[in-house]
Amino acid sequence: MLTPEYLQHAAEGAEAITEDLHNRIMRKIVKAILTRMERGENYMLTAADKWRIEALQEAGYLLEDIQKEIAKATNQQLSEIKSACVDAGIQTLKWDDAVYKAAGLVPTPLLLSPTLMRVLERDYKATAGTWRNFTRTTAEEAQRLFINELDSAYHRVLSGGESYGAVVADLIEKVSEEGLTVKYPTGYRQSLESATMTIVRTGIAQAACDVSEARMEEMDWDIILVSAHVGARTGDGGQNPGNHLWWQGRFYSRTGKNKKYPNFYEVTGYGTGEGLGGWNCRHSFGSGDGKNNPFDAKNISYADNRKVEEAQKRQRLLERRIRNSKRQIQTLQFAIENASDDETKSKLQCRTEQKANLLSKQNKAYRKFCEDNNLRPYDERLKIAHWDRKQAARAAADARRYQKRKKEKADD
């Protein structure tokens, strides 16, 4: 059995790899935009067909570059996912095997069990395959973003109503705000990092659950104990698998033969997306003895749990906003460093200062929200790749410049 805290951090290695990939791809997009746009206003005043053809050609080159970056990251990611699944299997059996040994049984160590290792291998491959699939859509989405924004910029320059530098700066800012997303068949979009966290965390949790289940079958063990935590999702509040608060922290019968305990699969919905071990679920389970239960779920009232659940949702939203602002600032800073046109640099600097000021406000709001709701601030969940002290100091200075300029305008 894994703790909710373990599952909360289980996907961090995979997220870090994805953050780095996101950063590298965004730099390639910005570089391609600047290369195309900074050929000058006169160059843009060419036949629309010629502009479109050349833009599509460069989008093709960009797609190839992005696919190469994804291939590099995939090799790292597959290794990370495999290591995470194996570690989850080892950790979950520490609890389970202690119960078996107390009952006089002798379980085989995970790494020496071909059956359990095959279970891990199956789940690892499924998770890795899902990650591969969504990164393919990411490359296509990045290419679409490049083409669409170039088209928009082209028509704005032709209209003559805006300065060339302002159009380029707007284009870079728009790209930084959109970032890279994963597009699902339903049309729903999710950031690259959020999609990775959901997929990998769910995959790791599923691997641990499957190993526990396989071990129980191997040991012919019936009683299951499900973990519990405050802030569990409540779904519609009914007695169904979508209400994790309802079924957490209790003993169950795996086979349904022991009528003293509820049927594990029927009550928890294990094996479904909404139930235990489903989408982004932080619950786990392991062997139980029917006596020792460290998860005192009876003391978690619906009202208290609901309050924490909603507060944690808000906390995660604030964390996502901070990470998004940092990514946007990184992209704008990179554009400033690589732009050759002075007006473009100046316009980009103004936008960077505005974003930095927003980030400053978001950080303060996050700290206050955590303090007001008795939540621990998770600094590790605010981190993004390549955001070091130097970048943080630069952003803080940009925020101060923005505030100073705003004050000067107000005083005039």
Tell whether 167 and 312 lie within a shared domain: no
Do 317 and 179 fall into the same domain? no
- The one-character DSSP state at 292 is -
Q: Is 256 helix (H, G, I), strand (E, B) or coil?
A: coil
Structure token pair of residue 137: 């859509």
Element (H, E) at 190: strand 189-191
Tokens for 300, please give them: 């978690």
| Sheet strands (E) in 47-150 | none
CA 359 distance to own-chain centroid:
19
Shared domain check, 109 and 19: yes
**Residue carrying structure tokens 């995979």:** 14
Same-domain status, 60 and 176: yes
Q: Which residue shows structure tokens 């300029």?
A: 405
- State how far the Cα of 248 lies from the Cα of 224, in Å rounded to an integer: 11
On whether the CB atoms of residues 356 and 329 are closer than 8 A, the answer is: yes
> Is 310 within a domain?
yes
Q: Which of 159, 136, 155, 161 is nearest to 67 (CA)?
A: 136
Does residue 316 share a domain with residue 207?
A: no
CA distance 196 to 193: 5
Per-block mean pLDDT, blocks of 10 residues, the chain (412 long): 88 92 91 78 55 74 89 92 94 94 95 94 93 84 84 78 83 89 81 90 93 96 94 91 94 94 96 90 93 78 87 94 94 93 92 96 97 91 87 93 86 70
Q: How many CA atoms lie within 13 A of 405 on its CB side?
A: 12
Q: 214 in a domain, yes or no?
A: yes
What pTM was estimated for this model as a whole?
A: 0.86
- Amino acid 250 reads R
Location of structure tokens 């699902």: 184
The count of C-alpha atoms lying within 13 angstroms of the C-alpha of 390, restricted to the half-sphere facing its C-beta, is 3
Determine, yes or no, domain membership for 240. no
Please report, as a single letter, which amino acid is at residue 357.
N
What is the structure's pLDDT at 347? 94
Q: Is residue 250 part of a domain?
A: no
One domain, residues 208 and 81: yes
Which pLDDT score, from 0 to 100, does residue 203 have? 93
Number of domains in the chain: 2
Q: State which residues form the domain around 400.
A: 301-407
Whether residue 318 is found in the same domain as residue 206: no
- Report CA-CA distances (Å) from 148 to 140, 145, 159, 185: 12, 5, 17, 21
CA distance 279 to 200: 10
- Report yes or no on 234 lying in a domain: no
Residues 214 and 95 in one domain: yes
Left (φ > 0), alpha (ψ -120 to 50) or beta: where does 279 sit? beta
Same domain assignment for residues 335 and 217: no
- Give dist(CA 176, CA 85) in Å, integer: 33
List of E strands, 339-410: none
- Is residue 14 within 8 A of residue 73, CB to CB? The reply is no
Whole-number pLDDT of residue 46: 54
State how far the Cα of 361 lies from the Cα of 394, in Å rounded to an integer.
Answer: 16
CA distance 368 to 210: 40
Residue 272 is assigned to a structural domain of this protein: no
Question: What is the per-residue pLDDT for 40?
Answer: 57
DSSP state of 287: E
Which of residues 185, 200, 221 is at a domain's end? 221
- Orientation angle between helical segments 12-37 and 192-219, nearest 10 degrees: 160
- Is the same domain home to 187 and 318? no
Does residue 148 lie in a domain region? yes
74 belongs to a structural domain: yes
Q: Kindly state whether residues 133 and 39 are assigned to the same domain.
A: yes
* Vertex 138: Cα angle to 278 and 5 (nearest 5): 35
209 with 315, same domain: the answer is no
Residue 182's H or E segment, with its range, is strand 181-183
Token pair in block for residue 313: 């949702």
Q: Among positive and negative, which fits the CA dihedral 138, 140, 142, 145?
A: negative
Last residue of a domain, one of 195, 221, 247: 221
Query: End of a domain among 193, 221, 249?
Result: 221
| Strands of 285-287's sheet in order across | 251-253, 223-226, 285-287
